[in-house]
Each structure stands twice: as structure tokens, then as C-alpha cells.
């Protein structure tokens, strides 16, 4: 279950198969969720990247990657 921290309610899956792209071909596939109250969105990705040089996966392009 994905929960909105601000609204304290379950977020709704609004799109399957929406990934996060790092660089040109490094994609973490996932699903896009939205809070039904405040409309904030997240993408919940899997832990393993896939190679997508032809850009077949719909993605959010990351400008910078900062893993902490």
C-alpha cells in the first residue's frame, strides 16, 4: 500500500508501466500513484533497472541523480 504522508490516506494507482529514466537508456520501470485528496504524485519503481535505448517505456526523465 502506498500512503500519502500529508493526507494520511491510500494513494491510487493512476498509470501502470511508467518508469524513471537516468541518462540515455537506464530505466527503472514502475507505476505512477496519486493522492486522491491533495493530488501529489509519486512513481513507485522496481529495484532493478532495465536497458531501454529506444525509449519504448514511458518515463519521467531525471535531471540529477542523488542517492543518499
Give residue for cell 529506444: 54
User: SS3 for 35?
Assistant: coil
Q: What is the pLDDT of residues 17-67, one digit of tens each?
A: 999 998 877 899 999 999 999 999 999 999 899 998 888 889 988 876 565
Mean pLDDT of 4-26: 93
Give residue for cell 514502475: 30
Strands across the sheet containing 58-61: 50-51, 26-28, 18-22, 58-61
**Is this prediction's pTM over 0.85?**
no
d(CA 58, CA 30): 10
**Nearest-CA neighbor of 38 among 3, 2, 1, 6?**
6
How would residue 14 be classed by pLDDT, with cut points 50, 70 and 90? very high
Amino acid at each position: 500500500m502506498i500512503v500519502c504522508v500529508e493526507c494520511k490516506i491510500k494513494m491510487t494507482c493512476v498509470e501502470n508501466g511508467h518508469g524513471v529514466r537516468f541518462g540515455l537508456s537506464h530505466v527503472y520501470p514502475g507505476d505512477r500513484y496519486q493522492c486522491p485528496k491533495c493530488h501529489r504524485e509519486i512513481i513507485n519503481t522496481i529495484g532493478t533497472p532495465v536497458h531501454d535505448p529506444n525509449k519504448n517505456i514511458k518515463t519521467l526523465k531525471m535531471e540529477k541523480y542523488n542517492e543518499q
